[in-house]
Every structure is written in C-alpha cells, then in structure tokens.
C-alpha cells in the first residue's frame, strides 16, 4: 500500500508540474507574440501584425485575458480567426462587463472588458447637510462592487454599489466643494478630484512646495521645425509655428513657478527625434513634454477636433497608430531596429505609470483652463496611449500633447491666436504643478 501511495503521489506531482509548465509556456508564447506584434506595428508590417494578433487572441483566451481589443484590430486589418467555443472565456457580452475599479492619488479608474463611449457615464452634483455629493452612474455590472472599498486623497467618503442590474453607482461625498471631472477613454473611465480655488490658497500651496519645484527640471519639446513643417491647416497655418509659440509661453510660465526649464528648440530649426530625448536625458530632466497639433485627412476635417494627451505605450487603436505615424514621420525611416526595440524594453517600466499620471493631470488642467473661456467648444479627446518615437528614448516620465486639430476650420483659427496658445500653456503648467504636488518624494 505504501509503495502504491508513493507512486500515486509521484504521478500527481508530475502532472501538476506538467500543467504548470504548460501554463508557463502559454504565458511565454503570449508575451512573445505581444513583443513581435508591437515590432510589426513599428515596422508597418501588416502581414506580421495579423499573424501575431491571431497568436495574442489564441494565447490570451487560454490565459483568460481580455482579447477584445486584439479581435477588433484584427478585424480592422481584414484578418479572420476561429476559436473553439470552449476556449472563449472572455466575451464583451459577459454578465460582468466591468473588470476592475481602483483608486489611487486623486483619481478613480473603472476598467471595462470592451470599448465604451461617453454615453456610458452620467454625472450629478448636489449639496446636502453632509456636504457636497458627486454621483456617477456608470453603465455596466461589476462583480466585486460590494466588497470594494475606495479612498482618495483629501476626500471624506466614497461609496460604490451595483445600483441597478446594469448601473454601477459611485458616490463621492465631501464637506468642502471639489472640482470633479472625468475622462472617457477607449476601455476605461477616469474620475478625478481636486479642491476648488475657493478651498485652497494657491500661493500658500506653492510656498509649501517651493523646495520641490525649485529642484525639478522640465524639458519642453516643440514638435517638428525647419524642413519638417508638421501638419498644415487652412491658409497655410503650420504646426511647427504654433507649437513653438506654446512651448515658449510654457517655458516662461514654469520659470516663474521655480522650475529649471529647457527647450529642445527655441527657433524654427529641424531637430531629430533622437536628439530631443538625448537632450532631456543629458540634463537629467524630471519631466519631458512634447507639444504638437493634430491633423486628419480632408474628408474628416469638418468633424475631427479636440485635445488629447498621449503617453508612451503600444498603440491600442487605429486612431493612435495614425497619429503616431503622422508625428513620427520625420525620423521613422532613419531609426534602426535596435532604436525601435527600445520601446519594447520600456513598456513595463515604472516610467509608463508615472507618464500616465502626468498625462491625466495635464489633460484635465488644459480642459479646465480652456473651458473657462470657450465653454463646450473645447472637446475632450481623452488620454491615450501611442508609440511615439520622441518619447521612446526619454529616461523620465514623458507625454505628448496634441493641442487641437490644425485642420479643423474653427479649431485652426483658435490655435493660431496668442490668447489660445497662452491658455493652453497655462493649462499644461498647472497640470505639471499638480503632478509634482501629488508625486513629489
């Protein structure tokens, strides 16, 4: 009996090891496919994009990952894949379409298993005896709504409940008034809070943070320049001219706040993308901000508008890829495989998390500052991810800001005015200060 038990035990251990090895192999295959897919995107190799997207879907499904975005991109590229019914562990129509709800610093993030739109969220504000109440009704079901506890800096109370079958309710309660706003991205919603001007003394905050701000170095990168005009709007409005003006205004704003500030270019000259981040690294910058203006094809010029902020990551959408291709055009062909491959080694670094935080702060403060003057004419195009070469070599948190569409008839006129440029610069500066106030060590 003892011998039989011994052999049985050895058999079980062997099977467990075999299962673990198989799972490990699947994980390795998934990340190998992911790496090669990103490389294919960067090399504009459509055939390999399709090949590795199929691998991502197959191995991602086995690992119970959300592969909706890969299926969507494969469909856009014209590729097809058939997965056995028993392997389909994730579906955008599953009972619980909200995968996670988390809170950190001053924002809440709601992650979905599928693409969403602005129709997925409704926001209400009210004032009662307990204080100010900010209510978000979000379309979707979250399995762990009841046990989840959320906390934010300087917020009294947050409550999360599955209010209705298909409505998740998040309620923020605070004694003093807050600035509460939200950003809807492709597959997540970010809810951000900060004290109103009435409830904080700006000068006192800056004095408290003066030591930190004085020690910080910011490198501002005005996109394009010289032979590279960037996008061209109506009446030959050049992107390179607009972004240089905004960069200079941002430079003086940050200088006044006590930062050490540098410009990658201070006149109309061509600067290679590799030099820009090399310049920032040499000065040991704490933050790299690249400024651009967006553009689109002729048939979409009347519709495409809005402000968006990107941080470095593989592009998850066709739109992000198109914008990246437009901004990367000047140096894309001259970059070798090893330079492009730097992106792959950066994807899992802490810099990406910090860059996302910077992007959220910068985007929200630009919107807040511009909407004081232009109201709902200012469109929030969101915080996005994209493979921008200008951000690849930076060893510090870095973002790329698209200050509007220079090809849009109305937006183009605004972008070319000094008032708009100054207001954008002020918004970016306020976002940078907010980031350091929350993340200074």
User: How far does Cα 432 stand from its chain's mean position?
Assistant: 15
Residues 304 and 350 placed together within one structural domain of the fold: yes
Contact 231, 241 (CB under 8 A): no
For residue 373 the two structure tokens come to 């003057």
What torsion do the CA atoms of 71, 73, 75, 79 make, to the nearest 10 degrees? -90
Q: Residue 232 and residue 229: Cα distance in Å, rounded? A: 7
Residue 107 pairs with which residues in a beta bridge? 104, 192
Find the CATH number of the domain harbouring 180: 2.60.40
Q: How many residues does the chain have?
A: 441
Q: Residue 52 and residue 40: Cα distance in Å, rounded? A: 8
Among 237, 211, 200, 185, residue whose Cα is nearest residue 363: 185
Phi-psi region of 152 (alpha: psi -120 to 50; beta: other; left: phi over 0): beta
CB atoms within 10 A of CB 123: 13
Burial of 329 per CB tally in 10 Å (0-12, 13-18, 19+): middle
Q: Residue 428 and residue 253: Cα distance in Å, rounded? A: 10
Count the alpha carbons within 13 Å of 256 in the hemisphere toward its beta carbon: 11
What per-residue confidence (pLDDT) applies to 123? 94
Report yes or no on 116 lying in a domain: yes
Residues 47 and 121 placed together within one structural domain of the fold: no
196, 219, 245: which is the final residue of a domain? 196
Instruction: Give the residue ranges of the chain where pLDDT is below 50.
Output: 12-24, 85-93, 197-211, 314-321, 323-324, 326-349
Residues 297 and 339 placed together within one structural domain of the fold: yes
Task: Spell out a b/e string for 300-326, using b for 16 or more CB atoms within 10 Å of the CB, else e.
Answer: ebeebbbbbbbbbbbbbbebbbebbbb
| Location of structure tokens 């540098």 | 262
Residues 176 and 205 placed together within one structural domain of the fold: no
Residues 112 and 190 placed together within one structural domain of the fold: yes
Residues 10 and 137 placed together within one structural domain of the fold: no
Report yes or no on 92 lying in a domain: no
87, 111, 128: which is the final residue of a domain? 87
What per-residue confidence (pLDDT) applies to 124? 92
Residues 282 and 237 placed together within one structural domain of the fold: yes
Among 236, 291, 237, 223, residue whose Cα is nearest residue 415: 237
Find the CATH number of the domain harbouring 360: 3.40.630.40
What residues contact 104, with CB distance under 8 A and at least 6 apart? Answer: none
Residues 167 and 30 placed together within one structural domain of the fold: no
Burial of 86 per CB tally in 10 Å (0-12, 13-18, 19+): exposed
Range of the domain at 49: 2-87
Widest Cα–Cα separation across the chain: 91
Digit-coded pLDDT (tens) for 68-112? 777 877 887 777 776 554 434 444 445 788 988 887 667 888 989
Residues 62 and 209 placed together within one structural domain of the fold: no
Q: Is 160 helix (H, G, I), strand (E, B) or coil?
A: strand
Contact 226, 269 (CB under 8 A): yes
What torsion do the CA atoms of 393, 256, 238, 291 make, to the nearest 10 degrees? 30
CB atoms within 10 A of CB 289: 27
Report yes or no on 93 lying in a domain: no
Q: Residue 108 and residue 152: Cα distance in Å, rounded? A: 8
Residues 48 and 182 placed together within one structural domain of the fold: no
53, 87, 121: which is the final residue of a domain? 87
Task: Spell out a b/e string for 379-393, using b for 16 or more CB atoms within 10 Å of the CB, else e.
Answer: bbbbbbbbbbbbbbb
Q: Residue 336 and residue 315: Cα distance in Å, rounded? A: 19
Instruction: Look at the chain and report how many structural domains it folds into.
Output: 3
pTM for the full predicted model: 0.53
Contact 52, 36 (CB under 8 A): yes
What per-residue confidence (pLDDT) applies to 90? 40
Residues 185 and 240 placed together within one structural domain of the fold: no
Residues 344 and 217 placed together within one structural domain of the fold: yes
Digit-coded pLDDT (tens) for 116-138? 998 999 999 999 988 999 999 99
């Amino acid at each position: 009996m003892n011998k039989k038990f011994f052999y049985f035990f050895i058999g079980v251990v062997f099977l467990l090891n075999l299962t673990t090895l198989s799972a490990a192999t699947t994980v390795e295959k998934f990340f190998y496919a992911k790496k090669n897919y990103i490389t294919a995107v960067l090399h504009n190799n459509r055939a390999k994009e399709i090949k590795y997207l199929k691998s991502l879907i197959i191995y991602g499904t086995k690992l119970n990952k959300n592969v909706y975005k890969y299926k969507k991109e494969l469909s856009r590229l014209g590729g097809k894949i058939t997965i056995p019914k028993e392997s389909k562990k994730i579906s955008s129509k599953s009972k619980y379409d909200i995968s996670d709800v988390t809170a950190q610093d001053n924002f809440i993030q709601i992650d979905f298993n599928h693409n969403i739109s602005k129709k997925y969220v409704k926001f209400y504000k009210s004032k009662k005896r307990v204080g100010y109440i900010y209510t978000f009704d979000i379309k979707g079901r979250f399995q762990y709504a009841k046990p989840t506890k959320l906390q934010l800096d300087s917020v009294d109370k947050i409550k999360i409940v599955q209010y209705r079958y298909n409505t998740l309710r998040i309620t923020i309660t605070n004694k003093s008034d807050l600035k509460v706003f939200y950003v809807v991205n492709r597959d997540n919603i970010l809810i951000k809070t900060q004290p109103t001007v009435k409830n904080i003394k700006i000068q006192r905050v800056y004095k408290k943070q003066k030591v930190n701000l004085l020690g910080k170095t910011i490198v501002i990168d005005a996109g394009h320049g010289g032979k590279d005009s960037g996008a061209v709007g109506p009446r030959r409005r050049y992107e390179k001219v607009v972004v240089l003006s905004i960069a200079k205004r941002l430079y003086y704003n940050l200088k006044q706040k006590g930062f050490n500030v540098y410009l990658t270019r201070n006149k109309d000259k061509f600067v290679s993308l590799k030099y820009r981040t090399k310049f920032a690294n040499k000065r040991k910058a704490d933050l790299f901000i690249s400024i651009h203006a967006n553009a689109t094809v002729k048939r979409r010029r009347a519709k495409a508008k809005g402000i968006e902020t990107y941080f470095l990551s593989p592009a998850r959408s066709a739109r992000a890829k198109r914008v990246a291709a437009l901004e990367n055009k000047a140096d894309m062909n001259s970059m070798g495989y090893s330079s492009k491959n730097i992106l792959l080694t950066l994807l899992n670094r802490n810099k990406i998390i910090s860059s996302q935080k910077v992007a959220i702060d910068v985007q929200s403060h630009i919107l807040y500052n511009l909407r004081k003057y232009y109201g709902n004419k200012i469109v929030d195009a969101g915080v996005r991810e994209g493979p921008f070469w200008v951000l690849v070599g930076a060893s510090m948190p870095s973002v790329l800001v698209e200050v509007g569409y220079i090809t849009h008839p109305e937006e183009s006129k605004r972008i070319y005015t000094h008032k708009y440029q100054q207001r954008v610069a002020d918004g970016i500066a306020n976002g940078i200060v907010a980031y350091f106030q929350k993340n200074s060590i």
